[in-house]
Structure 1
Amino acid sequence: MGKLKHLQYLDLGGNDFTGSIPYGFEQLRELVSLDLSGNFYLSPEPISFDKLVHNLTKLRDLALDYVNMSLVAPNSLTNLSSSLSSLSLSHCGLQGKFPGNNFLLPNLESLYLSYNEGLTGSFPSSNLSNVLSWLDLSNTRISVHLENDLISNLKSLEYMSLRNCNIIRSDLALLGNLTQLILLDLSSNNFSGQIPPSLSNLTILDLSSNNFSGQIPPSLSNLTILDLSSNNFSGQIPPSLSNLTQLTFLDLSSNNFSGQIPQSLRNLTQLTFLDLSSNNFSGQIPQSLRNLTQLTFLDLSSNNFSGQIPQSLRNLTFLDLSSNNFSGQIPSSLRNLIQLRYLYLSSNKLMGQVPDSLGSLVNLSDLHLSNNQLVGAIHSQLNTLSNLRSLYLSNNLFNGTIPSFLFALPSLHYLDLHNNNFIGNISELQHDSLRFLDLSNNHLRGPIPSSIFKQENLTTLILASNSKLTGEISSSICKLRFLRVLDLSTNSLSGSMPQCLGNFSSMLSVLHLGMNNLQGTIPSTFSKDNSLEYLNLNGNEIEGKISSSIINCTMLQVLDLGNNKIEDTFPYFLETLPKLQILVLKSNKLQGFVKGPAAYNSFSKLRILDISDNNFSGPLPTGYFNSLEAMMASDQIMIYMRTTNYTGYVYSIEMTWKGVEIEFTKIRSTIRVLDLSNNNFTGEIPKMIGKLKALQQLNLSHNSLTGQIQSSLGNLTNLESLDLSSNLLTGRIPTQLGGLTFLAILNLSHNQLEGRIPSGEQFNTFDASSFEGNLGLCGSQVLKKCYGDEARSLPPSSFDEGDDSTLFGEGFGWKAVTVGYGCGFVFGVATGYVVFRTKKPSWFLRMVEDIWNLKSKKTKKNAGRYDARRN
């Protein structure tokens, strides 16, 4: 092209050119207009771009929007031709300071620099071109001073957009002096107060995403477009709004407006777009809206509207009434809205069947009816909706089989039928257009259709909680290279898990195959740079070891491998995962010591650690307690844990919570759990466990822990459940535990604790079951009176039987029983017999019987727990 030396106009915009601008372009010295915009993969090199700018001295129009100019320094634009009248560099990735002299080019009429978030500099307040008419600095960091000096230099300005800009000082009233100004966009800034009435000449005004309040000035009567969304307006819509009779576009969404829609809105007969969503409007939609015959877009969602659904706006293409209080049946007369393409009625109180008249809306693209009380089968008349792209019917009471025509709709991209009562097999898909499929929480059965694995554009596949889906997971699933969410949990799938699931897609963020009958091993190869955030294989028959390649899953937040048959030692390599928040390894065959961290900041973000029901031994992992930083501080804001990508998939987990096995379908970000129960841990409870102040549940039960209960547990002020049962703990119960005001569950049973049970505060809420099996304890909770500072082992003599009672107080205490227990049950009993053979044999026989019954009960209790877990 460098040979076309007389070329004046060159437009190569909107193509797919790659690489740099060729060096020959600087030879085109006669160029007046150059447009390379819209070539997303074009990336000019600094040297060639410098020559281009330097040589094209006759250039008047330069458009490089959406060209990747991240390698080019903005000062390269310093040498732009003084004859330049139009410069358009939006969405270019420019970084650094924009040359100030470019704002002062004498012939510059239009300047577009928007969406260059790294672009800085300062817009001058004097010596500006007096012909500048279009200015767009939105989404840059260029400083602007809206003061009198600047305004007086912009008399010819017609279009100004400073959306999300760096406005230092401002006096919006001065903008009324710009008599030629037609469009003003000051959205996404921090303006507050009232709208200046001086802006009377405008026809387009966008003040959205600020903090404006007060009245809407009636002087804005020339407006055709008004956007005041996401501000702090409140009360009823002011009557003055009805004076803006030229309006075609009105957006008042996301404010605090209340009351009913005023009848005066019927005066806005030119309206084509009306958005009143996310306010506090109530009452019925007024019949006067039928006067808005030009209306094509109506959004009244997220309010408190009730009554009838509007049916007379025949030109509507978009209708959103979701998240209101509409009730009754869907009116058949909606068939009159023949232009309708988008219909959203989700989250209301609609009942009955979906009328077959919706089949008349042949232009319908999106139909959303989720979260209602709709019943019955899906009418076959809907098979006429050949343009339907998304169908959302979740959280209703639909029943029968899923009609096969749904899987034959040629344009269908999104199908969501979860939480209904559908039964039967899933039909084969007739087209490969599907991108989202959620059929979870129904009663479907049979194998997963092979056609699902041929949906090459599928990003989300959720068939969870159907219970009766059977067969194996085909390795063909690994052909779905765009898959982001795969959830086949809570079914009856069998066979081995395909090994390719570890590395088939760099986009996969959710892999949930829990609660099936899968066998084999965990995938041995997880590829680097994968996007996996949630991996749940809980409740299968998986064997083998935990693959160390999981450390490649650097985005992983949840790892649940519980309730399998994994035989391994503690997987120390997991501590290097920087974002891991939940680790569940419970009920496997893991063994050995858990020695503590081998890396800096090990498990620093863990909120839930559950390694219960294994064969770990040795002392508690004290070193890890020092690095569990997320368990030391509570979250200030409660959210539900979910993926960080656009899918928004909400995590779930099955967990023992306060002694009950519960499935958390949503996991609160505030939850903190440490469960090391049912192992073989020995030694004392470390004092530093008291540093984990955010813990809500601590379970160390069914181990062989010794020593006293640490008073530092009183620092766990958020604790709701504490279980230290079935250990060998001795000494007194610390009174500090009484200060745990949230503690609802306490289990200290079956230890060797002694002394007075603390009274008052929380301890008065616990019954005897919290302390049973500690024969040295006394207090009102166990109906055993205490004497002095120490607890006697038996009640006063008035409650004893015969002379046998004296023998207990004459020399036999529970310390001797402890010694005997430590040496073996038989040896202890024999020693007791030798030491006290002179005493009455009836006492000895009762003692042996009591100890034997206690041991039998404990054995049966543990056996019952084992059977329950196995079942």
Structure 2
Amino acid sequence: METGNVIGLDLSASLFSGTTRSNNSLFFLRHLQKLDLSYNAFTLETAFFNMLGQNLTNLQALDLSQVDLSLVAPSSLMNLSSSLTSLELRTCSLQGKFPDISHLSELALLDLFGNNSLILDAMTFDKLVQNLSKLREVDLSYANMSFVQPSSLMNISSSLSNLLLSFCGLKGKLPNNIFQLPNLQSLNLAGNDGLTGSLPPHNWSNSLHSLHLSKTKIPIYLDNDFISNLKSLKSLGLSSCNYRVSNLELLGNLTQLTELDLSHNNFNGQIPSSLGNLKQLFSLDLSHNNFNGQIPFSLGNLEQLVSLDLSYNNFNGQIPSSFENLKQLHFLCFQNNKFSGQIPNYFVNFSQLHFLYLSNNQFTGPIPFQVGRLSSLFDLDLSNNLLNATIPPSLFTLPQLFTLILKNNQLTGHLGPFHDGSFVQIDLRNNKLNGPIPCSIFKLNSLQILDLSNNSLNGPIPQCSRNFSSALSVLHLGMNNLHGTIPEIFSVGSGLTYLNFNGNQLERRIPLSISNCQRLQILDLGNNNIDDTFPHFLETLPELQVLVLQSNKLHGLVKESFANFSFSKLRKFDLSNNMFSGPLPTEYFNNFKAMVNVDVTMKYMSAPNSSYDYSVRLTLKGLVIELVKIQTLLTTIDLSGNKFTGEIPQSIGKLKSLKLLNLSHNQLTGNIQSSLGNLSNLESLDLSSNLLVGRIPMQLNDLTFLEVFRVSHNRLEGPIPEGKQFNTFDASSYEGNLGLCGFPLKQCNSGNWQQPIASKEDDSESKIGFGWKPVLVGYACGVIFGVAMGYVVFKTRKPIWFVRMVEGEGHRKSKRFNN
């Protein structure tokens, strides 16, 4: 007011964006002492910092947290005013070597939290702790300090009050005098899993209020000496620690605690009732342990709790009635235990509850209608229980509910109606819901994931579904009783990545508008009554990885592709049990680039920015199964049960990542191509029930991962290859070929048959295709059937040809997989 000079400017969280350059009028404010530009979408350049140092020489506090500094050379920080006392650069994408800023001798606060690509070397850090003697608060969490020796911490100023070095890559022995700094209030070394050392037995700082040693290798003796040093402690984090003594009962003496994290340890037995003494607690995390028995009644005394996590333990019995006192809860997580009985109806008193997770327990009975009154609820997950009765209609109208997950229960009744809300994910799969799909569900503007699969929903897919938001990425309506046609509901700009209508009674054509879904990765329309030709327009989907059209009434030729990159990312191609005719689609095989590449990282396909895993129904070993998680390594082609004619294309031999190839029950002629011996990862090969002639190529003996091999009911002749995997197949693999001989069939007459000799050319191809096979001969077979089976849910529906072959014609029944 006296001079008209601006000495403080706060523009934080002001929705500014773009690039701020060095000619900004900001630099005319030469008397500026405090500048806060944090939480904006700025991108700053190196020249900006140069101008800061040249023009704002009186600057004492600078906050650029969450501003994009990725274009800034860290060395430009050396130009900042030496009068700075506070420098905050949290999560601002600084990268490279952090400079020597020891000239900032007045600095009391240095906050570099969350700059993962920032490197602090040993020399720079030593200068910081030696020269910045006025530092009170230091947060270098998530920066790379792997080259810094923990012994450097001995030189830290005794005036330091907060030292936060979590997840910095520190390793080596921690000096225990750090715990004896007289003014130390907060120490966080969590996440430095190479950090060792020991805790001093006494003389800890009396000022210490917060201690976090989670995920370190520092030995923890949770005994009387340790507890006596922590009498003033308010926050304690000892998750994933190296416990030598763990007397948890003593924790009840730390009555000043407001936060306690003991998660991810190997504690067992019951929770000590003494924890009920910690009446100041607002956060308690005991998750991921081996606690068992019932929850002590005394935990109901913790009336200040805002967050309670008891998930991933072995608790049983009912939730204590004393928990009705916990009316301040915002977060409640009991998932993955053995709780039983009904969900308490006193939850209606938790008016501030935002997150309620009770999944994977044994809760029975109905969902209390009182839960539908929790107007502050953001996330609700009651999946994988034994809940029955109808869903309270009020759940569909909660104004702030983002996530509603009730899958894998026994819930009945109709859906909706849904009112305008904030739903992002609705997952009601594997229940007993019936009736039509309400139009109101497609009017939820924020909805990204909708899974209503495996219920008893009926009626047509409503025409109003064309109103679904472009935000919708997952639409799974499979395994219901839906009928009629698939409507033309897919508009330009669709965000769908996963579309599954498998297992309904849908008819007529595949809509052309699916070609608008340019982000689509998985399309599963199998097990319907679709009567159409092959939908060649799907070639235009650049991201498509899984295409399942099995068990429909599709017919005609699968014509050659004219596009150079059609289906280039496809990993699963299933046209089985239709009425396709003509030659196999050779050009498609040439385009399957993703099936050529064997250097693929194993991961599961899931929705973007979500924990929702994609699923798909496939036929493996003659049984229709559902993979509830899809591996990128699981590469399959199934064209069985059609009327394909002609020879097996040699180009299939290029698809070296292929694990399952099924061409059975067609009208294929000619020889078995020797190029199939190049499919070095193949685990299942079924060519049965065709018109194939000639011999079984010796090159197939190189398929050391082959677990299933069927060539029965063809016109093959000559000796069966000997050794390796061929010694593991029984006679059913070859029956119906009167000209075959050798193990396990009749012995070959040496006068008539000689073991075929591979040509030099074929032998060369075999070696190139799998030159490292001898190393892996002993490797256990069955990645596709071993790893994947952990995520398999079996269904009873079998393909028509399988029923006819196994049950009608009396052939050998396929063994069922173990779930």
**Which TM-score tier does this pair reach, normalised by the shorter chain?**
0.7 to 0.9
Query: Structure 2, unaligned stretches of length 5 or more?
Result: 755-800, 810-819
The correspondence of residues 233-252 of structure 1 with structure 2, limited to 5 A, is 237=222, 241-242=226-227, 243-252=229-238
- Aligned partner letter, 1:639: K
Mapped to 2, the partners of 1:476 and 1:581 lie a distance apart of 25
Pair 1:479–1:308, CA change in 2 (3 A)? same
Q: Which of the residues 70, 75, 98 maps onto 2:43?
A: 70
Is the CA contact 1:100–1:124 (under 8 Å) kept in the aligned structure 2?
A: no
Pair 1:261–1:420, CA change in 2 (3 A)? farther
For the residue of structure 1 that corresponds to 2:509, the secondary structure is coil
Mapped to 2, the partners of 1:41 and 1:104 lie a distance apart of 23
Q: Which residue of 1 aligns with 2:158?
A: 179
Q: Which of the residues 744, 750, 765 maps onto 1:788?
A: 750
Q: Which of the residues 256, 260, 265 maps onto 1:279?
A: 265
Q: Normalising by the residue count of structure 2, what TM-score does the alignment of the two structures yield?
A: 0.82
Q: Which residue of 2 aligns with 1:698?
A: 661
Q: Which residue of 2 aligns with 1:205?
A: 187
Is the CA contact 2:556–2:582 (under 8 Å) kept in the aligned structure 1?
A: no
Mapped to 2, the partners of 1:230 and 1:708 lie a distance apart of 60
Q: Which of the residues 750, 766, 776 maps onto 2:713?
A: 750
The correspondence of residues 126-525 of structure 1 with structure 2, limited to 5 A, is 126=102, 128-140=103-115, 141-147=117-123, 148-167=126-145, 169-177=147-155, 178-199=157-178, 200-201=180-181, 202-215=184-197, 217-218=199-200, 220-221=204-205, 222-232=207-217, 237=222, 241-242=226-227, 243-255=229-241, 262-310=248-296, 311=299, 312-380=301-369, 382=371, 385-407=374-396, 412-429=401-418, 432=421, 434-475=423-464, 478=467, 480=469, 482-503=471-492, 506-517=494-505
Is the CA contact 1:389–1:412 (under 8 Å) kept in the aligned structure 2?
A: yes
Mapped to 2, the partners of 1:259 and 1:441 lie a distance apart of 45
Q: Which residue of 2 aligns with 1:96?
A: 72
Is the CA contact 1:215–1:238 (under 8 Å) kept in the aligned structure 2?
A: no
For the residue of structure 2 that corresponds to 1:152, the secondary structure is helix
Task: Name the count of aligned residue pairs.
Answer: 744
Give yes or no for the alignment of 1:556 onto 2:520: yes
For the residue of structure 2 that corresponds to 1:170, the secondary structure is coil
- Aligned partner letter, 1:274: L
Mapped to 2, the partners of 1:259 and 1:371 lie a distance apart of 32
- Aligned partner letter, 1:66: Y
Mapped to 2, the partners of 1:580 and 1:230 lie a distance apart of 40
- Greater relative contact order (Cα < 8 A, sep 6+): 2
- Per-residue CA distance 1:314-335 (angstroms, 9 max, x = gap): 3222211111100122222222
The correspondence of residues 5-20 of structure 1 with structure 2, limited to 5 A, is 8=4
Pair 1:498–1:298, CA change in 2 (3 A)? same
Mapped to 2, the partners of 1:617 and 1:455 lie a distance apart of 43
Give yes or no for the alignment of 1:58 onto 2:31: yes
Mapped to 2, the partners of 1:859 and 1:382 lie a distance apart of 47
Q: Which residue of 2 aligns with 1:631?
A: 595
- Aligned partner letter, 1:195: L
Shift of 1:712: 4.0
Q: Normalising by the residue count of structure 1, what TM-score does the alignment of the two structures yield?
A: 0.77
Is the CA contact 2:488–2:511 (under 8 Å) kept in the aligned structure 1?
A: no
Mapped to 2, the partners of 1:467 and 1:236 lie a distance apart of 56
Q: Which of the residues 106, 111, 118 maps onto 2:82?
A: 106
For the residue of structure 2 that corresponds to 1:194, the secondary structure is strand
Q: Which residue of 1 aligns with 2:778?
A: none
Shift of 1:158: 1.0
Give yes or no for the alignment of 1:648 onto 2:648: no
Pair 1:635–1:598, CA change in 2 (3 A)? same
Q: Which residue of 2 aligns with 1:606?
A: 570
Is the CA contact 1:259–1:283 (under 8 Å) kept in the aligned structure 2?
A: no
Q: Which residue of 2 aligns with 1:117?
A: 93
Mapped to 2, the partners of 1:286 and 1:215 lie a distance apart of 29
For the residue of structure 2 that corresponds to 1:175, the secondary structure is helix
Give yes or no for the alignment of 1:676 onto 2:639: yes
- Aligned partner letter, 2:719: R
- Aligned partner letter, 1:677: S
- Per-residue CA distance 1:109-134 (angstroms, 9 max, x = gap): 111222221555642165x1321111
Shift of 1:297: 0.7
Is the CA contact 2:416–2:441 (under 8 Å) kept in the aligned structure 1?
A: no
Question: Which deviates more from structure 2 when the two are superposed, residues 443-452 or residues 67-76?
Answer: 67-76
Is the CA contact 1:195–1:212 (under 8 Å) kept in the aligned structure 2?
A: no
Shift of 1:31: 2.0
- Per-residue CA distance 1:342-379 (angstroms, 9 max, x = gap): 22111111122223344444444433221111112234
Give yes or no for the alignment of 1:685 onto 2:648: yes
- Aligned partner letter, 1:515: G
For the residue of structure 2 that corresponds to 1:266, the secondary structure is helix
Q: Which residue of 2 aligns with 1:541?
A: 507
Q: Which residue of 2 aligns with 1:584?
A: 548
Question: Which deviates more from structure 2 when the two are superposed, residues 767-776 or residues 154-163?
Answer: 767-776
- Per-residue CA distance 1:219-257 (angstroms, 9 max, x = gap): 654421222334455776576542222221122234565
Shift of 1:624: 4.6
Shift of 1:408: 5.5
Mapped to 2, the partners of 1:246 and 1:687 lie a distance apart of 76
- Aligned partner letter, 2:547: L
- Per-residue CA distance 1:78-118 (angstroms, 9 max, x = gap): 42322111121121112131454645522111112222215
- Find runs of 4+ consecutive structure 1 residues off by over 6 angstroms: 857-860, 862-865
Shift of 1:637: 5.7
Mapped to 1, the partners of 2:507 and 2:460 lie a distance apart of 15
The correspondence of residues 657-676 of structure 1 with structure 2, limited to 5 A, is 657-676=620-639
For the residue of structure 2 that corresponds to 1:69, the secondary structure is strand
- Aligned partner letter, 1:156: K
Mapped to 2, the partners of 1:597 and 1:209 lie a distance apart of 54
Mapped to 1, the partners of 2:401 and 2:238 lie a distance apart of 32
Question: Which deviates more from structure 2 when the two are superposed, residues 297-306 or residues 670-679?
Answer: 670-679
Pair 1:377–1:122, CA change in 2 (3 A)? closer
Pair 1:191–1:604, CA change in 2 (3 A)? farther
- Aligned partner letter, 2:560: K
- Per-residue CA distance 1:404-429 (angstroms, 9 max, x = gap): 44446565443322211122223534
Question: Which deviates more from structure 2 when the two are superposed, residues 316-325 or residues 204-213?
Answer: 204-213
Mapped to 1, the partners of 2:803 and 2:609 lie a distance apart of 51
Shift of 1:679: 4.5
Is the CA contact 1:77–1:99 (under 8 Å) kept in the aligned structure 2?
A: no
- Aligned partner letter, 2:660: Q
For the residue of structure 2 that corresponds to 1:149, the secondary structure is helix
Pair 1:366–1:761, CA change in 2 (3 A)? same
For the residue of structure 1 that corresponds to 2:652, the secondary structure is helix
Mapped to 2, the partners of 1:437 and 1:564 lie a distance apart of 27
Mapped to 2, the partners of 1:580 and 1:693 lie a distance apart of 19
For the residue of structure 1 that corresponds to 2:467, the secondary structure is helix
Mapped to 2, the partners of 1:727 and 1:123 lie a distance apart of 72
